[in-house]
Each structure stands twice: as structure tokens, then as C-alpha cells.
Amino acid sequence: WSRPDAMEISKGVDWLTRYGYLPAPDPLTAQQQTLEGLIAAIKSMQRFAGLKETGTLDEDTIKMMQRPRCSLPDIIGTSEIMRRRRKR
Amino acid sequence: YSLSGTVWSKNLLTWRVNSFPHASPLTHQEIHDLMLKALNVWSKSSEISFQEASADADILIDFSRSHHEDGYPFDGIGGTLAHAFFPGEHPISGDTHFDDDEIWTKSLPESYGTDLFAVAVHEFGHALGLAHSSAEESIMRPYYQGPVGNPDQYKLPQDDVSAIEQLYGRRKRNPDQEKPALPVPTQPNIPYYPPQRPTYNRPRDQPDRCKAHFDAIANIRGEVFFFKKRYFWRLQPSRNLVSLNPAQIHQFWEGLPKDLDRVDAVYERTNDSKIVFFRGNNYWVFKDTKAEPGYPRSLSDFGLPPAGIDAAFVWRHNGKTYFFQGSRFWRFDEHTSRMDLGYPKEVNMWQGVPQDVDDIVSWNDGNTYFFKGTKYWKFTGGKVEADIGFPRSVARDWMYCDMTTEDLPTQWPKFRGESDCICARES
């Protein structure tokens, strides 16, 4: 498979945020993700979807992200958990 | 299996189909019966039961499209199919919404559409307190897995039976009752939460959101998109900016010419939730983030002059699409694909706003906002007269620019909410 282009990464981050694998954006900090954070989120998504955990936006992962699905997030309350962790 | 953390405090729930699809091969009676069967799947496996109600039902079932004011907008055919709200005390708790733009089918192969029964079983699982499961055999997997066969013979996988039994207790069985299908043991799902390490890295070539003067502003799926040059910002329904930093148009919207330096106007169509981009005499139609083949096409398709438009928006008051150019505006009917008679009219019919607006949006609060330069005007509901107290500052009210004066230079970022440090909200 070829390397994902910038658009696929952009859409991938959007997808991962929407379904709870990345924390929701905070308008006051405008935080961006580190590469390690993004890889961990992709692996988490792959594990949940039953895909091979490559940590990259490979063809199977992008294809899975394009499948019709339920609107609700897979990971509930990520941002709340992250907030608590930050406090600790 | 995975549980949401909330559960109904009663074992008899009421339900009602509140609205039906606008166009569906299924009759209202078939849809009603499929919903009943999907609910019964869960009651057969636990001590929960359902009763149809005429009003104030716990589980209110609706077919909606696009943004429908619950924070989970639909997106036309494919993509998101449905959602339901977990149990609780809020009026929306238990309510279940299906995307009206899908082609809902009954026990047909996947190529014909989406199996309503399969999706309904999944969504009612949420309405009862189940979260998404990663178990291979679970109906609570988040991805659509195709039709599940005859609704009368469908049985929940063991993973889901275990989950619903834990929430509402095991159904007392007669000895002759069948056991659940697919007794495949699965491990409980333990989600992994990725570490969060924020960084702040602002490219220097991006436009300054605090200077406003946006090229186009659009309400897409309930979010407001602010376009400026080759970039855009997103404002969520909660009025949070996704990021203070803009995203690049060409890295998100696929199919626009690479040399396109800006867009004139953007809007989401009411009839099919597709998104239309305008630039000069050209327009493109997008399915989600991808341009459809055959574009760009000419503005003459709409009956508009070739000089381009300043603004496009759907007025929630009447569902019609409006196009603005200079001192004139037109009204377009998406369902007949024709411009309404009697147009164009003069912009001054919208009292209080100048000509040559940047763009216009109908926001989720039911009001309409006109933008020009650094100012915006608010029109409450269906009024055509701007509210008193307007215009106001776009930068301050929409862009999170914490400034005492709009003339403050960008070189003073700390007065614009752009200081380089990372500060947690609570501190």
C-alpha cells in the first residue's frame, strides 16, 4: 500500500476524534496531536475494529473508516478521562 | 461487551415511531413492525419489556436528515446511518434516530440498501444501555455488517445476551425455549486511551482569523465553516472552534482544483445533504468531502449570472436556498431545481445590512447571520430586519479573539487568545 497523503491523514484525525479515539478539541488550547498520540489512537481503532495493529493509516484502516456505521463514538468519555488524567 | 454506564430504572419501557422516512420502499406498517421486532429481540433475552405509547414515549423513533439539533448530524447516503441515546432522565434519553437519506430495506442484499432491522437492533441496544463492542459476533459492533436475515428468526449473539442480562436480569425461560445463538465466549472490551501530548506549531503563512473578512461561511452538518483563502476553521454546534489554527481546504475537501485560491460561497443542500462550493462562474457538488464527477459546472445551471456570487444559504424559516450577489438576491427551490419567480430582488429588503456581503448562515439556534468584513448582523427567526445592537464583531463573538479593540495588531498575540503557552481550561 502507498503512504497516506495529507488529506487522508486529515480525514483520519477527524474520524478518530469523532469516534472517541482522540480527545475532543479544546478551543482555548488549540492542541494538536503528536505523532505518538496519533499512532496510539490508530492502533486503538484497529484493535477495536479487528484489524492488524499497524499504527498507520494503511489501506484496510482507511477502508474501515469509510464503512457505514453508527454515529455514536466507540470510546465514550475520552475527553473526560483525559481531563481527569491531566489533573492527576 | 461494553456498557454505557447508564441503565433504565424500570423494566417496562414505552416506545413510538414519531416520524417515518420521506421516501422509502417500506410502508409505514412495515417500518412499525420492524421496530417492534427489533425491540422484542432484546426483551426475549432479558427482563425488559416494551409497550407502544401514543405520546411521551421513552424510546421515540425518528427518521431525520442532516443536522437535526442533537449533536449527531447525518450525512446523506452511507457514512453515519443511525444513533440512539443512552438511558437517563433527559427527555432525549432512549430516543433513536435513523438517517432519512438512507435507502432502508427489509431482508434484501446489501446492494439494495441498508437493512433497517439490523440497524434498529443495534440502536435499541444503545437505547437500553449498551455501548459499542469490539466482539466479532456482536450486533453492537459500530460498523454496519449487512442484513441479518429473517427478523422473526433472529437471535442475539451471546455477547449481547450477556450484556442485556447484566443490565436487566436474565429472562425466566421455559424449558422448551431455545438457547441463544452463537455461544462464542469473548473477552470484555478494555478500551485503550491514547496519551495526550499537545503541541503548538503555528505555520506563518496562514491567515489571521481575528481579522475576519472571510470568503465564505457555511453551516455544514450543524457546524459553521469559515473559509478564507486556502484555509478554513470549524465551529462545532457547541460553539467551540475545532482548532484556533485553520485547516487547508485542499487537505480536506477532495476534488477542487489545486490552484483554487479561495471559494466564494458554500452551502449544504436541503434535498440530499450534498455540499455545494462556488468560485466565479463555477460550482462543485460534494458528497461528504469528495467532489462528484462532472464538476465544475456553470452557474447558469441555477439561473444565476456568470459573475459569481457573494453568499449562499438555506433559510431555515422556509427551507429555500438564497443566493446573493452585490445588491441583489435570488431564491432557489431545491426540490424543483428552479429559481423562484420574481427574483432577483434588492438586498435592502433585508433591513440593516449592506450590499456585497461576505456570506450568510442559518445557525442551529434558528437565527440567520449576515457577515461582512469584521462585522456580522443577526436576524432572529424569520425576520427580515436585523436585531437591535448589531452589527457586532465577528472576531470577538465567533473566533475566540480576546481583544479590547479590533485594530489590535496581530503581533500582540496574547491579547488575542493566541499566546504561545498551553493552558488547561480549568487553570
* Cα first-last separation, chain B: 37
Residue A39, phi-psi category: left (phi > 0), alpha (psi -120 to 50), beta (remainder):
alpha
Nearest residue on chain B to A30, alpha-carbon basis: B243
Q: Is B45:B130 a contact under the CB 8 Å cutoff?
A: no
Nearest to B200 among A32, A75, A81 (CB): A32
- In chain B, residues with a C-beta closer than 8 Å to the C-beta of A10 are 247-248, 251-252
Q: What are the phi and psi torsion angles at A61 (to 5°)?
A: -70, -45
ipTM (interface predicted TM): 0.84
Q: What is the number of alpha carbons within 13 Å of residue A18 lying toward its C-beta? A: 19
**C-alpha to C-alpha distances, A26 to A17, B143, B237, B344, nearest whole angstrom:** 12, 28, 13, 42
- Rounded to the nearest 10 degrees, the angle between the axes of helix B116-128 and helix B28-43 is 50
B331-344, pLDDT tens digit by residue?
999 989 999 999 99
**Higher pLDDT pick, B221 / B181:** B221
Mutating which of B128, B132, B420 best tests the A interface, going by the most A Cβ atoms within 10 A? Answer: B132
CA-closest candidate to residue B337, choices B298, B305, B383, B303? B303
Q: Is B334:B321 a contact under the CB 8 Å cutoff?
A: yes
Min Cα distance B304 → chain A (Å) is 32
Nearest residue on chain B to A69, alpha-carbon basis: B143
Residue B175: pLDDT band by 50, 70, 90 thresholds?
Answer: low
Largest Cα span, chain B: 80
Q: Is A70:B132 a contact under the CB 8 Å cutoff?
A: yes
Nearest to B194 among A11, A40, A72 (CB): A40
3-state secondary structure of B227: strand
Q: Is the confidence at residue A81, as pLDDT, over 80?
A: no
Nearest residue on chain B to A64, alpha-carbon basis: B143
Q: Look up B123 and say whether it is catalytic.
A: yes
Chain centroid, CA B20 distance in Å? 19
Mutating which of A70, A76, A86 best tests the B interface, going by the most B Cβ atoms within 10 A? Answer: A70
Q: What is the dihedral of CA B351, B355, B356, B357, to 10 degrees?
A: -20
Nearest residue on chain B to A39, alpha-carbon basis: B194
B353-391, pLDDT tens digit by residue?
999 999 999 988 889 999 999 999 999 988 999 999 999
Determine whether the interchain pair A44/B192 forms a contact, defined as Cβ–Cβ distance below 8 Å.
Answer: yes
CA-closest candidate to residue B92, choices B64, B74, B73, B69? B69
Q: Kindly state the cell numbers that stand for B372.
A: 461582512
**CA B216 to CA B357: how far, in whole Å?**
10
- B113: number of Cβ within 10 Å: 18
Residue B273: pLDDT band by 50, 70, 90 thresholds?
Answer: confident
3-state secondary structure of B362: strand
Q: What is the number of alpha carbons within 13 Å of residue B239 lying toward its C-beta? A: 8
B203-259, pLDDT tens digit by residue?
566 899 999 999 999 999 888 999 999 999 998 877 878 888 888 898 889 999 999
Determine whether the interchain pair B132/A74 forms a contact, defined as Cβ–Cβ distance below 8 Å.
Answer: yes
Q: Is the confidence at residue B419, as pLDDT, over 80?
A: no
Mutating which of A34, A46, A53, A69 best tests the B interface, going by the most B Cβ atoms within 10 A? Answer: A69
* A positions 11-70 inside 8 Å of B (CB): 11, 14, 19, 21-23, 25-34, 36-38, 40-41, 43-44, 47-50, 64, 67-70
Q: Is the confidence at residue B54, as pLDDT, over 50?
A: yes
What pLDDT, on a 0 to 100 scale, did the predictor assign at position B239? 80
Residues 6+ positions from B326 with CB-CB distance below 8 Å: B310, B347, B355, B356
Q: Is the confidence at residue B148, as pLDDT, over 70?
A: yes
Average pLDDT of the residues in B316-338:
93
3-state secondary structure of B353: coil
Cell 474520524, residue? A15
Query: Alpha helix (H) ranges present in B276-421?
Result: 394-398
- Rounded to the nearest 10 degrees, the angle between the axes of helix B116-128 and helix B158-168 is 30
B189-193, Cβ contacts within 8 angstroms, sequence gap of 24 or more: B189/A48, B189/B1, B189/B2, B189/B133, B189/B134, B189/B135, B191/A44, B191/A48, B191/A74, B191/A75, B191/B2, B192/A40, B192/A43, B192/A44, B192/A47, B193/A44, B193/A75, B193/A78, B193/A81, B193/A82
Q: What are the phi and psi torsion angles at B394 (to 5°)?
A: -65, -45
**CA B315 to CA B302: how far, in whole Å?**
17
Min Cα distance A45 → chain B (Å) is 9
CA-closest candidate to residue B226, choices B345, B110, B376, B42? B376
Mean pLDDT of chain A: 79
Q: What is the number of alpha carbons within 13 Å of residue A84 lying toward its C-beta? A: 5
Mean pLDDT of chain B: 86
Interface size, chain A vs chain B, as Cβ–Cβ contacts under 8 Å: 150
Taking the Cβ of residue A88 and every Cβ of chain B, the question of whether any pair is shorter than 8 Å is answered with no
Q: Is A24:A82 a contact under the CB 8 Å cutoff?
A: no
- In chain A, residues with a C-beta closer than 8 Å to the C-beta of B194 are 21-22, 37-38, 40-41, 44
Nearest residue on chain B to A7, alpha-carbon basis: B251
Q: Is B228:B213 a contact under the CB 8 Å cutoff?
A: yes
Nearest to B79 among A27, A50, A68 (CB): A68
**CA B269 to CA B266: how far, in whole Å?**
10
Q: What is the DSSP letter of A51?
A: -
The dihedral built from the CA positions of residue B53, B55, B61 and B63, taken in this order, carries a sign that is positive
